[in-house]
Each structure stands twice: as structure tokens, then as C-alpha cells.
Structure 1
């Protein structure tokens, strides 16, 4: 496409695929990372097709105001994906580890975008399905579909120890407020549980959690319900949200909703030689999904 765009948190799981697809489409990409000296986190980006000519790595920190100024200046689209990804149960200090960097980092990026006007035509924020579904109110009747009109309740998230959903919910709220006050064209993408090929030489949270389900039979979610989406579809959704002038508001990006035992049944069908563990709980079993 020839335009220059910015991708924050470029070494991440979704962001790496976004960078790859943007380069494939002819964009020049300014990719921000936390540490340019951490070769293990950025070398896979340098090997992408087109990286030699059109990828520029820039060091930036979510906690440092003005850190993204040079990265977004002159960009047509800014894709903000940088945010701490940590299971709520793993956070020893959720406010410091999850909430503050998510909210303040989002505001820091948007402030840089506001200062770079009018070159920045649109900001695409990677939110999460977790900023949609934690309402504290059961859907009634049960077949009512979850859609973009749903909003997670911060008080419900905090009281139930759901700090990652809390961080994504508060960051999205802050983004919409700042964007409306500063005339920024914002679109938010809300992916479900992201799976698919990994470009990095290490596993991030969701692929690692999927591996734990396969090896230990332990679901990531207490209900065992997964809202799966392929990482390549999520990256493509970001690009479409940028390029389509009619894109507006929030977009949930989910491909299929299934129980963890059904997911394991699919794994068993695909890789019959695997010795899968028994499910630790659930109303399904492999045989009920048509797999002996």
C-alpha cells in the first residue's frame, strides 16, 4: 500500500503476525519493542519478508510518556497492541503489573497520536473479548448472543479477581474517552482465545495455555468454554479495520465457541497417536464427541 504505519508491542503473538501481513501488503512498518537489545524477542521480526527494506524497530515503553512520539509521527495508521499479558492468578501485584501499564500505556500512545495529527488517520486498539463478556449478569435466555453492545463491569472484574479483564476493560474505557475528547478516529478489536502458528521461538500465554490443556487436561477457563480465533484472522481484522473507511466502533473477533473437551477431541482426531490426559472435569468426554 506504500503508507507508513506503527505497530506497538510488535514482538507479541498477534502483533508479529500483524507486522508480517502488513509487510506483505507493502506497508512500511515502524515496530515498537520494549528492548532493542533483547535479540530473542525481536530476531523473528527481522527475518520477515520485506523487513530489510520496510521494517524499522523502535524502542518504546508503555510507562514513559512521549516514548511513542517518534514512532507514530508521520504514520497513517497506528495499531496499538502493546499491553501486559498475564493470567490474573499469576499477578502478585495486579494493579502495578496489569492495570496501570495497560491504562497508562494506552493513554501514552494516544497522546502521541494526538500530537502527530493530522497524519494519523486512525488508531486500531487491540482490546479483548474479556472487556466484553464480564458483565456480572448471566445472559437470559441462554441463547442470547454476545455482541459489541456488551461491556465488562470493572467492579465485577475486580471483586472476582479477574485482573486481566479489568486491565483490558479500563484501558478500553480510557481509550474511548480520550479519543472522543481529542478527535481521534478509534476502532477496537476484541479477539477471543487466540490460537494458531507461532512466529516467535517461544510460547506466549494462549499457545502455552493450549499446550497445558493438551498435556495436562487443565482448561484455562473455569467453565471450560473457549472462544477460539486464529491469530492470522485477528491480524487480518486489524488491517481491515484500518483500511475500510466505514469501520466504526468495536468488533468482536471469534471463530468458534466450544468446550475444552471438544477441543481435545479435535486434537485427538488430528493426531491419533497422541496420548491425551483425561479431562479434570466437564460434561463431555472424548467418546461423546465421536472419538474413541
Structure 2
């Protein structure tokens, strides 16, 4: 990171989400000033922690925002050079939340287009925006060119996937129309410290259809600390562009499935047959590809 960027200001919206909170912490540790834009979703533990941090961290300012209130977003973006857009529903996803998230994404991007200081939008999406369709089991490679099918998601009530897909597409369309510099990060299931405590309902929303993801080689997870680093790298690297699939591990064996279940305890109960000994040996073909992310992490990036 160059010296100029180390003194720049970034907005994290919504900083009280699990991913947003870790991005905020990483930015502060790297010398950035941060506007923590928090949606009023009740008194969550993460929100309380951020407000306590504001009292002792001079480079942190907290803003209350409503993503449906365009003006409140504009206030939080003032003087910022970048925005990390991390919209997520703390209550999980249903059909109504899909519409709210799409409208929120549009308002954030539109607000960025009305500011003079924003240099880049780093949009946090999901792998679920890309992996759901009828023929997923026959497709060899699932990468950044892929999108989930809207009708398939609606028919199967995959509201998390639908929200992430529609909001990301809306953000991309508006960013291109306004000629804004945007990068999207599409993480797998997010795991990390106390994820079951701080991010339970979004986690369970992601996992709807987990058995089908697993059998089709598209169930993957990512550590939240690594994910936060990737978001910041996408901002700092001037050549970063387009979409980036982000995951540490594809779950395609029963051993990996067990590790994932253990990391999410007590959200997901341990299957009885695994309590004493592992059984089964079936291995499913991996279909996800994240070669583009590897190039970004290693040093360069590619469109």
C-alpha cells in the first residue's frame, strides 16, 4: 500500500454486519480512517462494539444510515475515497428482504456517483449469486462469468441467492452507467471467530440447499479474516477489476463436510453417525474456479 492510501478515508456500509466489522478492523489496523455506516437493525453486539471503539479510536467515526434514505448514505460518504458495500440481512432472507437489498444497493451506488471523492466501490456479494441453475451439475467450470438463474431461485425459494444476484447485477448496471470504478467480491460461506453467535441467520440463509451445493461441487467456505484482506486488496490494487470468487476450501468430501459442520456449531447439529467415527468415502467433482483471485492475492489482477 502506498503512503497516500494509508492516510485515505474509507466508508464501510454496513459496518455492523459480520463481514463489514472485520473489514473495518483491518482498515484501522492498516492506518486508514474509517466511516462506519451502521443500519439501525436493533442493538446488536457488533454495533455496540463499534460504538465503544469510536470512543477510543480517533480514526473511526460512526454514522447511522438507512439504505433506503439516500441522504443518510451521502452524509456517511463525505470525504471518503472508497466504500465497502457489505449489505446483509441480520434476520436472514425472505422475498421481502430481496427487494430491500436491491434497493439499498442501488442507493449506495447512486450516492457514490454523486460524490467527488469516491475512487472505488468494493461490493461484497456472494457465491450464491453465481451457482444456482438447472444444469449446475453438468457444467465443468463455475467462475466469475456465471450468474444464478432468477426463475430457478424464485421457484426454489433461494432468497439469499436471489438477493445477492439481483443486488449485485443492479449495482453493476448502475456503476457502468455512471462510469464508476467498482469491483465485486463473491465469497463462499463465511466462517470465522464466533460466526454462529454474530452471524447466525445469514449463515443459515446461505446454507439453504447446502446438500445440492455439496453434491454438485459448489459448496465452499472462506475465513472472514482472509475475506477482509481480499476486500482491501481489491481497493488498493489499481488493476483490480470485475468480479472475484473468494473461498479457501471447496467442500466435496465427507471429511470436509464434517469440518464445516464443526466450525458452525451449534448452528448445525453434528450428524449422529459422525459422533464417534467418520464413515463414507464419496468424493464429488469440484466445479468452482477462482484463478482470478489467486492472481490478485499473489500480486497482480486480471479482468
Deviation per CA, 1:91-115, whole angstroms, max 9, x where unpaired?
3xx1x2x211111101111111111
1:278 to 257, 272, 277: 272
- Equivalent pair of 1:135/1:150 in contact (CA under 8 Å): no
1:176 to 155, 165, 172: 172
Distance 1:121 1:50, change over 3 A: farther
User: What number of residue pairs does the alignment pair up?
Assistant: 264
Shift of 1:175: 0.7
CA distance in 2, matches of 1:64, 1:147: 34
Shift of 1:176: 0.9
- Equivalent pair of 2:21/2:46 in contact (CA under 8 Å): no
Deviation per CA, 1:25-77, whole angstroms, max 9, x where unpaired?
00000011123983644222245599521111100012222220011121111
Distance 1:278 1:26, change over 3 A: same
2:198 to 196, 203, 221: 203
Distance 1:209 1:252, change over 3 A: same
1:22 to 24, 27, 44: 27
* Structure 1 runs (4+) greater than 6 angstroms displaced: 267-270
CA distance in 2, matches of 1:71, 1:166: 27
Match of 2:3 in 1: none
Determine if the alignment matches structure 1 residue 78 to structure 2 residue 73. no
How is 1:145-224 mapped onto 2 (pairs within 5 angstroms)?
Answer: 145-198=141-194, 202-205=197-200, 209=204, 221-223=210-212
- Equivalent pair of 2:273/2:279 in contact (CA under 8 Å): no
SS at match of 2:272: coil
Determine if the alignment matches structure 1 residue 258 to structure 2 residue 254. no
TM-score by length of 1: 0.80
Unaligned 5+ residue runs, structure 2? 1-5, 264-268, 282-303
SS at match of 1:69: helix
Distance 1:66 1:230, change over 3 A: same
Distance 1:14 1:26, change over 3 A: same
38-47 vs 129-138, which deviates more? 38-47
CA distance in 2, matches of 1:132, 1:73: 33
CA distance in 2, matches of 1:51, 1:176: 37
CA distance in 2, matches of 1:268, 1:180: 39
Determine if the alignment matches structure 1 residue 240 to structure 2 residue 238. no
Match of 2:72 in 1: 67
Shift of 1:224: 6.4
Shift of 1:83: 2.9
Unaligned 5+ residue runs, structure 1? 211-217
Deviation per CA, 1:113-134, whole angstroms, max 9, x where unpaired?
11112x1100010011011111
- Equivalent pair of 1:24/1:50 in contact (CA under 8 Å): no
Distance 1:137 1:173, change over 3 A: same
1:7 to 8, 12, 32: 12
Match of 1:215 in 2: none
CA distance in 1, matches of 2:262, 2:103: 45
- Equivalent pair of 2:90/2:201 in contact (CA under 8 Å): no
CA distance in 1, matches of 2:21, 2:262: 29
Shift of 1:87: 4.6
261-270 vs 240-249, which deviates more? 261-270
Determine if the alignment matches structure 1 residue 131 to structure 2 residue 125. no
- Equivalent pair of 1:16/1:199 in contact (CA under 8 Å): no
CA distance in 2, matches of 1:51, 1:77: 23
